């Protein structure tokens, strides 16, 4: 078994489900002949045919709408949107139809579809290619929002998303598509949705993050360990619905918390996590809950991305503030 990247783990999961479930189909712009803009579907049309891996017109609303129709008829469509910045034409279909279908039909119909989208900055792309607006979808009742942060979690969580009976927004942090490699058995074993992953256990402070920012956060945890400080690192993974219990258990143990995300600060998912902690674990806190985030502006172009996104130093500075209380 060879080590693979996160994007290769996505390909591996898609291939597994195409092979083992005849109702799974892939669709999106350039996913077939070209294998996707990031090559996440490379070779899949050749292997499974153009009726299972389908190129579509440049029409995101149509992709989502057709996917919903397929899902109501027993299929399991996996729809790729090339970049998260192009996902907004899908919002009407997602909010008004996919998210409401189970409730609208009183459970007679569900919408087992996945919408995949590369998201986040860090590859020096123009503004519409660097969005981190996961909070928009986390606010929608009726959809799950899942964000992997490693090859193994990408494989297991994508399998779970495809098998879920309800719609899942599956956001892939493209900055780490090829950052690291990991051995990932192609055994078809899904990881649990709606569950945080504790990447590192600790007793002095809780660091909460997801997606690409897990890597900077783990670097900070290593720094802290060298200084004799024990940091617990939590990868939220499913930001909707939120595994509040795991977060509260960690904060109750450590008494301090820093939340790290790349998205803009105001109304971000970090604000919801901070509110949950304040409402349910205020008496266990030794310091205010702090956030290290992107800024309330459009992602700047090219090298200015590095200023926008939380750095190891910015995270460490907030940790030091929390520990000083």
Contact 155, 184 (CB under 8 A): yes
Pairwise CA distance, residues 253 & 249, whole Å: 6
Cα 178 from Cα 170, distance rounded (Å) = 18
Smallest CA-to-CA distance from 30 within 9, 44, 17 is with 44
Task: Report the C-alpha gap between 183 and 45 in whole angstroms.
Answer: 25
Q: Which of 20, 97, 128, 129 is catalytic?
A: 129
Judged by phi (left if over 0) then psi (alpha if -120 to 50, else beta), residue 234 lies in beta
Which one-letter DSSP state was computed for residue 299?
Answer: P
Q: State the CB neighbour count (10 A cutoff) for residue 40.
A: 26
Contact criterion met (CB below 8 Å) for 1 and 183: yes
Task: State yes or no: is 139 an active-site residue.
Answer: no
Instruction: Label the pairing between strands 114-119 and 168-173.
Output: parallel
Distance of alpha carbon 34 from alpha carbon 119, whole angstroms: 20
Q: Which residues are catalytic?
A: 129
């Amino acid at each position: 078994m060879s080590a693979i990247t996160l994007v290769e783990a996505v390909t591996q999961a898609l291939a597994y489900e195409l092979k083992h479930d005849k109702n799974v189909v892939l669709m999106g712009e350039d996913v077939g002949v070209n294998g996707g803009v990031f090559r996440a579907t490379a070779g899949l049309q050749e292997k499974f045919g153009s009726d299972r891996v389908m190129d579509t017109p440049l029409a995101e609303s149509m992709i989502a709408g057709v996917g919903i129709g397929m899902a109501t008829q027993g299929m399991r469509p996996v729809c790729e949107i090339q970049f998260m910045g192009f996902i907004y034409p899908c919002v009407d279909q997602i909010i008004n139809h996919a998210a409401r279908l189970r409730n609208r039909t009183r459970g007679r119909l569900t919408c087992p579809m996945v919408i995949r989208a590369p998201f986040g900055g860090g590859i020096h792309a123009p503004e519409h290619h660097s969005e981190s607006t996961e909070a928009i979808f986390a606010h929608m009742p009726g959809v799950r929002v899942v964000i992997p942060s490693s090859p193994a979690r990408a494989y297991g969580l994508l399998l779970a998303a495809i098998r879920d009976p309800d719609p899942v927004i599956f956001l892939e942090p493209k900055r780490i598509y090829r950052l690291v490699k990991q051995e990932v058995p192609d055994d078809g074993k899904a990881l649990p949705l709606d569950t945080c992953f504790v990447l590192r256990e600790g007793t002095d402070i809780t660091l909460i993050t997801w997606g690409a920012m897990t890597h900077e956060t783990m670097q900070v945890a290593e720094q802290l360990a060298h200084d004799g400080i024990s940091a617990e690192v939590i990868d939220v993974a499913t930001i909707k619905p939120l595994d509040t219990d795991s977060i509260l258990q960690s904060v109750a143990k450590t008494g301090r918390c820093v939340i790290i995300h790349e998205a803009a600060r105001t109304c971000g998912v970090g604000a919801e996590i901070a509110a949950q902690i304040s409402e349910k674990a205020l008496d266990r806190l030794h310091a205010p809950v702090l956030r290290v985030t992107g800024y309330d502006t459009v992602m700047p172009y090219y090298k200015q991305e590095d200023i926008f996104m939380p750095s190891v130093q910015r995270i460490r500075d907030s940790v030091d503030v929390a520990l000083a209380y």
